[in-house]
Structure 1
Amino acid sequence: MDTPWRSIARHAAACPSPHNTQPFRLRIRSETEAEVVFLPRRGLWVADPHGRFTWLTAGIFVELCTIAAHGLGFELEQRTDFVPMYRDGDTETPQVIARLTLRPADGAVADLDPALILARHTSRLPYDGHPIPEALLAEMQAEAARTGHRFEARNDGEAIRWVVELNRQALFHDMLNAPIRRELVRWLRFGTREEDITGDGLSARCLGFSAPLLRSFFTRPGFWTLPGIRSLVGALYRRSMKGVGTVGWLRGPYVTMEDWFRAGTTMIRLWLIVARHGYHWQPYGSVITSDEARTNMIRYFDMPDEKGGADAVWLLLRLGKSAPPPISRRLPFEDIVLCG
């Protein structure tokens, strides 16, 4: 069915997701109606059992559809069903989470350029050492405030070094958590052939590690956490984090499924603004998912925060410029679009 939905879906297919699991599909029902479908088997029911970051990804997916629709001269109406994911432990049954309707817009629709959706990429490469400009920071803060959130940043070397080290410790913590590690290994891709076959997941190529080293790191955690070896891994990690000029975070409502969904709208709009200015960012997800690391961050920056509160810290990241990053494989477009 050749409808505007297919153009919209090509942009939605670029939706970032934790571990590049790509858990959402767009089911086209008619020329004006479509549904967003969640595939639980592509979720993270161990690391994210309540769906906090899966709902955030859903918000990103729908916002990308909205921006693409605006570029085609349509308004996009949405009705979202905020029901628990993985109901009764079900990790297989697809779940319709939102219904979308296209309406012709009255005149031009001012929004972000849809081309930014395809230009946006995560960069895990070293950055160039320069902080993001004050004008970009102000633009990000204004956009976050428009959606009820706060974006804050630090450029001083001491704070940056502290955050980079905090993220390293959180990554080691995740590696030693056997259930989380086993879930993550499902999504690691250790070679380009495996990437080509699956079209998803976190690749050694994009993470900046050799495939044998990455495989050993996650399948032999006892060895890699020995004192001397752990120091070597830490040195490799810090080398990949060179040149960080700015670290930032987002704070705001993060209590309910609707909050998580709306936070996705905020996150992707800021990310596209960063891309428009020629900058990259990399989320430090392990710090947010680790209660200990997150609490340490709140104390260090003296934040007025309570986990799950109305002013919660829900995203930490590094920002800057880098060389063009390697691009993760994506599923074929035909796998993202469902018809009927």
Structure 2
Amino acid sequence: MSGTSLDGVDGVLAEFSGQKCRVAQYSSAQIAPDLRAELLTLNTPGNDELHRAALAANALVRGYADVVQRLLAQAGLRPDAIHAIGAHGQTVRHRPLAFDGTGYTLQLNNPALLAEITGITVVADFRSRDVAAGGQGAPLVPAFHQGMFGQAGRSVGVLNLGGISNLSLLRADGGVLGFDCGPANALMDYWCERHTGRTYDDQGAWARTGRPHGALLDALLAEPFLALPPPKSTGRDLFNPHWLEPLLAAASNAPPQDVQATLAEFTARSCAQDLLRHASDCDLLIVCGGGALNQYLMERLQALLPGVTVQDSALHGLPPLQVEAAAFAWLARQCLAGQTASLPEVTGARGARILGAIYPA
């Protein structure tokens, strides 16, 4: 898995028993700076982008293959011991229902090349079938979250803080709701790199030195997407530097660390208000994704949700950086078994669908 935060590639060797997942091995790799820059650039229209996107997909898949080889070496396994690789690809455009009523979602990937390099069956292209069925194509992880983290008779929230934040609401009666809340790390990482040269704010230490700017926070929270009812999904198509820059006029004299603290507060508030709005009976929020390692952000979430226990997903069986990779391993398993994986009540599609395309070894 390489998510919208573009902080690296996470891979897991996952074993399944029913809906439960055990991660036997975990490995990760950074995305090379030049490839990361190209993937960020490809989120917006540009010159010769079809050619550039194809080559970026090839480079990304070679990074995926390196992580797969490392996992095999760690486990002492041959490729034929693996049923399949679930390879999501890198989302560069996400516009479901737009333009012609169907829209599209685009993940840069070359699953055929990954199958050739690794000698393992690859399952990819998980989102497009749901979009074709009138859905958002996202989020796809709530069904996996239900199997991993659901508790009978208790309402539980699972918050993934990648580049974008998405929330799964696992209801006490077994019902599931899920949707994107807004940005998580995407804007904070952009601002941190612009002013410090670091690609992320380690544990939120820089944000902690600032103070949220009230006028800027109000401007950020006025974004209409935040008030939309589910089903809804978003990405860097909306929450990007071009969206942010005009709003910064509200804090033109603020120190950079105050803007960082404001962006962290924006993420925390947009997530907290969605949990309170849609699951007021929830008393446990399990947090995963890279944002779970941002201690300042976790503290702000807890402060904004005094009646809710906010916990790192490691306390519930899967460390934060392993959850999404394990989810796409599960999605690959569902596809190979010919079983549906989407939840129409989450994505808004006309019905549940088998997700993914198979590239045999």
Provide TM-score, normalisation by structure 1. Answer: 0.29
Higher relative contact order (CA 8 A, sep 6+): 1
Provide TM-score, normalisation by structure 2. Answer: 0.28
